Each structure stands twice: as C-alpha cells, then as structure tokens.
C-alpha cells in the first residue's frame, strides 16, 4: 500500500509522524511524506525543535487517487497550518470523496473539521478539540482508538502519543482491509 502522511512544513509532533511511518514500513507498505511546500518538514518534540524529514511530494502536485490511505499526524501547530492551506484541505477532503481510509491523531482532527468531513461521525482527539468536533457535527468520544465507518470510508482516530501503539495497529488493519475490498 502507498500511504500519504500529510504535514505542514513546521509543527508536526515528531513521534506522531515517525511511529506510524515506521509501522507502515515494517508492515511492507510505502509511506510518502506530503507537505504544502517542497524541501523538509521540521519535526517537534512538543515545543522543542527535533529532526527534519525530506518531503516526497507537494500537496498541490499530487492526488488522493495515487494513495491507498492518509495519515494525519498531530502537533498543535501542524493541523492549524494545514487547515489554513486550501490545497491541503482539498487533499484531505478528496480522500473522503474517493472512499479512501484516513487516520488522524491528537490535534490532527482540526484539519478534518476544516475539510467539513466530521459531520455524523464519531471520533476522538486531544480533549481540547472536543467542542470544535461537536460544533462541526461530529460526536467526540474519549477512547484510545475510534474507528468510524460512517459514510464512504473509514476514519481511525486516537487521542495522544500514549495511544500510538494501538493507533498504528488499528490504522494498518483498517487500511489493509479497505485496500483488499477495492
């Protein structure tokens, strides 16, 4: 499977990028780092700069059609930057329109709210997004991992870095199941 990992050039919580990425590699899949600009993405360990990662594709030059699924890592700044980028929001929305699975952790559902794809769905996130999700028509739940198959695709969400092990196992199972069904 070819899996897009969408991040802004700055602000991604590094562990929420690297652990799901490594889980994909270990499972034999091809992770692809997609960003709003070419060059590198700056990872963060909370508020401290961490490592940088090379961008594989720019969001405006690619399409959800070329991927089997989408992973949205969190970090407070990352989804806030993404939700202000029209091409990034359209890219996320396209996965839902094409029926491709999406996984989001921590603050990443802010981008889902902006793409207007949470209405009628149950999902989890960092607790501070609860009101935003409800105001966007979603139902927020406090669970380690939530899989919602309302609509044309499945959505996998988790609350925080402590949930990464369950998040990685679940998103890979769901993406594999969805790819096999196509």
Which positions are catalytic?
A: 106-107
Query: Angle at Cα 178 formed by Cα 166 and Cα 162, nearest 5°?
Result: 15
- CA–CA gap between residue 31 and residue 147 (Å, rounded): 21
b/e burial code for range 83-113 (CB count within 10 A of at least 16 → b): bebeebbebbbbbbeeebbbbbbbbbbbbbb
User: By the 8 A CB rule, do 20 and 103 touch?
Assistant: yes
Structure tokens at 28: 């034999």
Between CA 109 and CA 155 the distance in angstroms is: 10
Q: What CA–CA distance (Å, rounded) separates 19 from 13?
A: 11
Nearest Cα to 109, choosing from 122, 125, 97, 93? 125
């Amino acid at each position: 499977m070819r899996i897009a990992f969408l991040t802004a050039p700055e602000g991604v919580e590094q562990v929420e990028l690297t652990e799901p990425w490594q889980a994909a590699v270990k499972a034999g899949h091809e992770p692809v780092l997609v960003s709003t600009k070419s060059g590198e993405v700056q990872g963060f360990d909370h508020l401290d700069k961490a490592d940088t990662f090379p961008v594989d594709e720019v969001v405006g030059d690619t399409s959800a059609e070329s991927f089997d699924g989408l992973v949205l890592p969190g970090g407070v700044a990352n989804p806030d930057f993404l939700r202000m980028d029209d091409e990034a929001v359209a890219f996320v929305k396209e996965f839902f329109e094409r029926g491709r699975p999406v996984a989001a952790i921590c603050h990443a559902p802010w981008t889902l709210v902006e793409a207007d794809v949470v209405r009628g769905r149950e999902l989890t996130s960092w607790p501070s997004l609860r009101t935003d999700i409800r105001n966007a028509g979603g139902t927020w739940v406090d669970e380690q991992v939530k899989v919602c198959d309302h609509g044309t695709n499945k959505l996998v969400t988790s609350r925080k870095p402590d949930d990464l092990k369950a998040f990685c196992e679940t998103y890979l199972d769901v993406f594999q199941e969805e790819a096999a069904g196509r």
